[in-house]
Amino acid sequence: MENSRPNDTPLVTSIIHAASSELSPISNGGNGRQIMKLVINGDSHTQAHLGQVITHYLASLQPHRQRFLGYPTNEEFNYEALAPLLHLHLNNAGDPFHGSSFTLNSTSFEVSVLDWFANLWDIEKNEYWGYVTTGGTEGNLHGLLLGREQFPDGILYASQDSHYSVFKIARMYRMQCIKVASLISGEIDCHDLKALLLANKHKPAIINLNIGTTMKGAVDDIDLVIKILDKAGFSRDRFYIHCDGALFGIMLPFLKSGGPKITFKKPIGSITISGHKFLGCPIPCGVVIARLNYINALSRDIGYIASRDATITGSRSGHAPIFLWYNLQKKGIMGIKNEVENCIRNARYLKDQLGDAGIGAMLNEFSNTVVFEKPLDDEFVSRWSLACNGNIAHVVVMQHVTIQMLDSFVAELVHNRSIWFQEDGIRKSLCIADEVGAVNCSCALHKANMDIQPNNYALQQIKQNV
């Protein structure tokens, strides 16, 4: 069977179809204007024709933006003031703290962004190193590489709820990787971690911790993991901790109700976040911060660029640091705090709305990721851009997600469920107890049990004494 092309999604296919015929009319008020093919065939085309293609493409994206619920990217931003920068190629090759001979760079903006995050995570300027990456995966690539360079024979421990990039990185670096069990919440199971550490005491530990898991938004307990390492006999010089904070690494410090503290005052080696997620950026990007003393093992002086190379990539976007700098400056501390609280508040609203409609749902404390039963119709899943895994799906409530959007989603979901689960006049809900816990499941069996048991999700979160 022939493999499908990776860009053959319904959206891209519809755009290609609309633009592929020589005389395909664009949907622009029925004025009869034509657009050219998307196929690059060597012919040159006028600016007007190219503009028509982009206009059509932008129009096709708007309905998707209005129902974009399943992925943690902030679609609420405006960078029009930075448009003149698109007339320049900006390249931050090399070490942002050493400069380079490629003078069209934005390393001054990059260092300013890095200093902001270093301050957020409590590490002094003379003690950290970092750079603006292409996203969370590159941040994980860099952080886990530092761990491997410190402990070439170390074992990587990562919970089963860790981002898929972590296990890909283990294969790329040929690291021994042990997958640790997760709790129902998605948090790493520290009982299992302790048993695995004790069974492998002869090798150092490289531990990936999640500051907001991909599917459930769970935050691993750094303090408890450090305690377990100590009890298992791992001294500070025999472990390395990398924190994957792709979405929540920047949100957690601004929670009104507090929460676990992510700080370099604890014995962690590196933290990474994705810049295009909570902050919002038109291109994928991220930030990685690590302890400076770990960097020398990776660093090499490169005469060609008159700089030091310690990054995963060579050339790096010079535009991304400016987008991040502009965003941080424009929002300010209070602006970020208000956005965090609004996202959390709206996520709780969605969870309550689903519960009131009899739909099983889970929301971790300190999270904006609402997990619920997977819709049975792929068209519905695609329409709302939902992310699914097994029997569950989730909505990540970001800045662009309004109460009106959530109301529309719930109303449509409820209407469709009445059709999907209709059998002999009786509506049947999916059982998702294995994924979110019995207390959060609305199937007939668990709903009946909850009538006689307290509906206290906190009971599911009590950690056993380790």
The strand ranges marked E within 27-154 are 34-35, 128-133
Is residue 193 helix, strand or coil?
A: helix
For the question of residue 367 being annotated catalytic, the response is yes
Work out the angle between the directed axes of helices 107-120 and 319-356 (0-180°, nearest 10).
40
Strand partners, 300: 309
Which run of H or E residues covers position 345? Answer: helix 319-356
Least Cα distance to 122 among 253, 247, 237, 229 occurs for 253
d(CA 144, CA 7): 30
Exposure of 23 by Cβ count < 10 A (0-12 exposed, 13-18 middle, 19+ buried)?
A: exposed
Q: Tell me which of 159, 165, 307, 367 is the catalytic residue.
A: 367
Structure token digits, residue 120: 């957020």
SS3 (DSSP) at 35: strand
DSSP label at 388?
E
Q: Taking each helix axis as running N to C, give the angle between helix 319-356 and helix 403-420, from 0 to 180 degrees, rounded to the nearest 10.
A: 50
d(CA 403, CA 400): 10
User: What type of residue is 427?
Assistant: R
Nearest Cα neighbor of 216 from 352, 382, 366 is 366
The amino acid present at 387, given as its one-letter code, is: A
What does the DSSP 8-state code read for residue 390? Answer: T
Q: 432 in the Ramachandran plot: left (φ > 0), alpha (ψ -120 to 50) or beta?
A: alpha
Q: Point out the residues that are catalytic.
A: 367
